[in-house]
């Protein structure tokens, strides 16, 4: 799909280094990602698992032939809401040089469109409390803080914060 001068498409293996670079390019990502080449095998394994799962999609935005953004969209069947599907957006990043240019909004709108095509009843996402700009960004797109999110870390002691 194209929006303005952006193209949205499924990620391919050749995008992986650029995607990991974007994931690592902020104050939180630097503590938990490793963009050093060659990439750790775990990134390859995760990419393969995502690309082979029909309920997962890794979507990239391209602008002028350059990787500009990424997100993961996961479709979840649910018994709630009368057995409807929901979509979960994760790992949203925009290349530093493209922030504030509409790439992120385009990516999110594209993901919402895919969720609507799938028949999802709602789209959900979480954002780290350490990213107040992200909270404002998602609110500007119509997302509401309706729940308090909680996480349980199972990977304690692995050096990732």
Report, at the CATH architecture level, how domain 2-140 is classified: 3-Layer(aba) Sandwich (3.40)
Length in residues, the chain:
161
Tokens coding 134: 């992200």
| 125 backbone φψ class: left, alpha, beta (φ>0; ψ -120 to 50) | beta
Per-residue pLDDT for 161 more than 60? no
**Residue-range domain boundaries for the chain:** 2-140
Q: How far apart are CA 103 and CA 90, in angstroms?
A: 16
Tens-digit pLDDT profile for residues 83-92: 999 999 999 9
pLDDT digits (tens, 9 = 90+) for 94-131: 998 998 899 999 999 999 999 999 999 999 999 888 88
For the packed helices 41-52 and 16-24, what is the interaxial angle rounded to 10 degrees?
Answer: 110
Share of the chain above pLDDT 90, in %: 69
């Amino acid at each position: 799909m194209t929006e303005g001068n952006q193209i949205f498409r499924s990620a391919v293996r050749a995008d992986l280094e650029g995607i990991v670079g974007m994931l690592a390019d902020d104050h939180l990502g630097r503590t938990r990602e490793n963009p050093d080449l060659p990439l750790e095998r775990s990134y390859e394994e995760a990419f393969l698992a995502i690309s082979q799962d029909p309920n997962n999609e890794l979507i990239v935005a391209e602008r002028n032939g350059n990787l500009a953004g990424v997100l993961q969209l996961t479709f979840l069947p649910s018994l709630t809401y009368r057995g409807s599907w929901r979509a979960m957006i994760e790992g949203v990043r925009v290349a530093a040089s493209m922030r504030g240019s509409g790439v992120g909004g385009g990516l999110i709108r594209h993901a919402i469109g895919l969720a609507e095509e799938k028949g999802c009843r709602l789209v959900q996402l979480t954002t780290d409390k350490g990213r107040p700009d992200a909270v404002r960004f998602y609110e500007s797109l119509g997302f509401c803080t309706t729940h308090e999110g909680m996480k349980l870390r199972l990977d304690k002691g692995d050096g990732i914060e």
